[in-house]
Structure 1
Amino acid sequence: MERWPALELASTIRHDGDGGVTDDLATPHGVTQWLQAQADLLPDHVPAGETTADEDLRTQIVGLRQAVRALFARAVSPAPPSAADSRQLMPADQAVAHLNTVAARETVVPQLVWPPDGAPAVRLLSTEDDPTVRLTAFLARAAIDFLNGPQLSRLRACSAPRCVRYFVKSHGRQEWCKPSCGNRARAARHYRRRRTAADGDSHSV
């Protein structure tokens, strides 16, 4: 299954399996663990696997997540946003400005690479020495790329009870982010139908 850094970042707010919501980025240690888990999605000049997050980096990444989730909520409209976003969202124009500002903190220049026995190619070279700036700028640019990509039209907020995830539909009939959410949603529908039928029977007596 394809993974996107922006969607992975948004998914750090998730159902905890016990009726509540958990935040994987609630502590610097949680941020460090999350970055290590995303190492395969990050370019070589962003050594996230070697990064130990502090409170400042945590705050910056959480701010990017707020912007991403605000724009995800806008993207799925007029359908409801994630339940975790229904009460308080960063204004969309502020979210756009925040992503653009963070992305612009790192200057990246194209470099031509043309080995003697291969074809020419272009790689992007960062001129930024601060690894924190490189990391946050990459996450902002990844979010911009996601929001400008073809997958945006397939972005949905999972409607299963208690789920707060966004997901990209992999096929036309997909309604939930994962099979367990589908099972929970179908069970909830079945329960509601039985309650409705039972209420109807009691009123007819």
Structure 2
Amino acid sequence: MERWPALELASTIRHDGDGGVADDLATVEGTTRWIQERSEVPAAEPVADERLRLDLVELRQAVRALFARAVSPAPPSPADAHRLMPAEEATARLNAAATREPVAPQLDWPGEGVPAVRLLSAETDPSVRLLAALARDAINFLSGPQRTQLRSCTAPRCVRYFVKSHGRQEWCKPSCGNRARAARHYRRQRGEGGGAPS
């Protein structure tokens, strides 16, 4: 299964396991931990400061707003459905973040391997490189075929977006499916039994 750093960024808002919403980017320490857990993130010094944390939160808001647009007319994630950034503003922020790091594609073709493209950058600020890489990934995701498979998980209390990997997939992960089936069963039992037992 292909990994999308932009989808992982959007998933830094998640169900906390206790009926609430957790934010992995709520603190500088949490942001640093999230960056360090991503091997594909281009950061020479993967330590966040408050400025980088705020920039990542702003980029995440733009990505989640555009994900909400992509899943429409289905409902967006309930975590931020009531305060989504307008699509035009989200697009402008995403594009601005991507252009902060000018890159040039370079052909890499080892003697015994297959040709591949790598991006060459003269940018030395790891924070700029990180933000630009995440923005480019979001642009590639939203402009590619996987956008049509993007879904907002409909399980109770879940706030994630996910890429549907097979025709019948309704939830982002099995635990969400279990929670949704349990809630549906509970609603049926309450409806058929006439209420709570005495």
Normalization by structure 2: what TM-score? 0.92
Aligned partners of 1:38, 1:10: CA distance in 2, in Å? 14
- Structure 2 gaps of 5+ residues are none
1:79 to 44, 69, 74: 74
Indicate yes or no: 2:89 matched with 1:94. Answer: yes
SS state of the match for residue 125, structure 1? strand
SS state of the match for residue 134, structure 1? helix
Q: How far apart are 1:121 and its partner, in Å?
A: 5.1
**CA shift digits 1:98-152 (9 cap, x unpaired):** 0001101111123344556666654321021211111111111111011011111
Aligned partners of 1:33, 1:17: CA distance in 2, in Å? 19
Aligned partners of 2:115, 2:177: CA distance in 1, in Å? 47
Aligned partners of 2:57, 2:68: CA distance in 1, in Å? 16
Change in 2 beyond 3 A, CA 1:171/1:56: same
Aligned to 1:164: 159
Alpha-carbon contact 1:28-1:55 (below 8 Å) kept: yes
Aligned partners of 1:157, 1:117: CA distance in 2, in Å? 43
Q: How far apart are 1:91 and its partner, in Å?
A: 0.5
Aligned residues: 196
Aligned to 1:35: 35
Indicate yes or no: 2:103 matched with 1:108. Answer: yes
Aligned partners of 2:150, 2:90: CA distance in 1, in Å? 18
Alpha-carbon contact 2:24-2:34 (below 8 Å) kept: yes
Normalization by structure 1: what TM-score? 0.89
Which shifted more, 149-158 or 122-131?
122-131
SS state of the match for residue 100, structure 1? helix
Aligned partners of 1:81, 1:120: CA distance in 2, in Å? 39
Over the aligned positions, Cα root-mean-square deviation in angstroms equals: 1.9
Indicate yes or no: 2:172 matched with 1:174. Answer: no
Change in 2 beyond 3 A, CA 1:152/1:114: closer
Which shifted more, 126-135 or 175-184?
126-135
Percent identity at matched positions?
72
